[in-house]
């Protein structure tokens, strides 16, 4: 069986930038997704006045919410639940 979460596991294993990840101002005319609390490192940057502001803001907020720590916790929870289900199904056999 193929692990459909392999790309996420590989990305986490590669060591993404440490957080916290946050939606934050970049300059007076732009905003972005930054790391290290002070947002000194920007991963995504959008300009105010861009016709895609709303979409960009939504994308940046989504990426910030789906940060490496959260993804790792979700995968661990998913794996634990899958193992529990597997054990329960094995006991029924």
- Which carries the bigger pLDDT value, residue 21 or residue 47? 21
Q: Residue 75 pLDDT > 80, yes or no?
A: yes
pLDDT of residue 89: 86
pLDDT of residue 13: 93
Q: How far apart are CA 52 and CA 55, in angstroms?
A: 5
The structure's pTM equals 0.72
- Tell me the HSE value of 74 on the side-chain side, using a 13 A CA sphere: 11
Question: Taking residues 56-82, what's their average pLDDT?
Answer: 88
Percent helix, strand, coil in the chain, to 5, is 50, 20, 30
pLDDT of residue 40: 53
pLDDT of 22-66, one tens digit each?
776 666 666 667 665 555 566 677 766 655 677 777 877 888 888
């Amino acid at each position: 069986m193929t692990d459909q979460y392999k790309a996420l596991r590989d990305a986490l294993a590669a060591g993404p930038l440490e957080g916290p990840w946050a939606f934050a101002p970049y300059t007076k005319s732009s905003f972005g997704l930054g790391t290290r609390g002070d947002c000194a490192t920007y991963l995504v940057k959008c300009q105010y006045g861009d016709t895609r502001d709303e979409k960009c803001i939504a994308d940046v907020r989504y990426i910030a919410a789906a940060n490496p720590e959260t993804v790792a916790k979700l995968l661990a929870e998913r794996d634990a639940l899958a193992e529990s289900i597997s054990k329960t199904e094995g006991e029924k056999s």
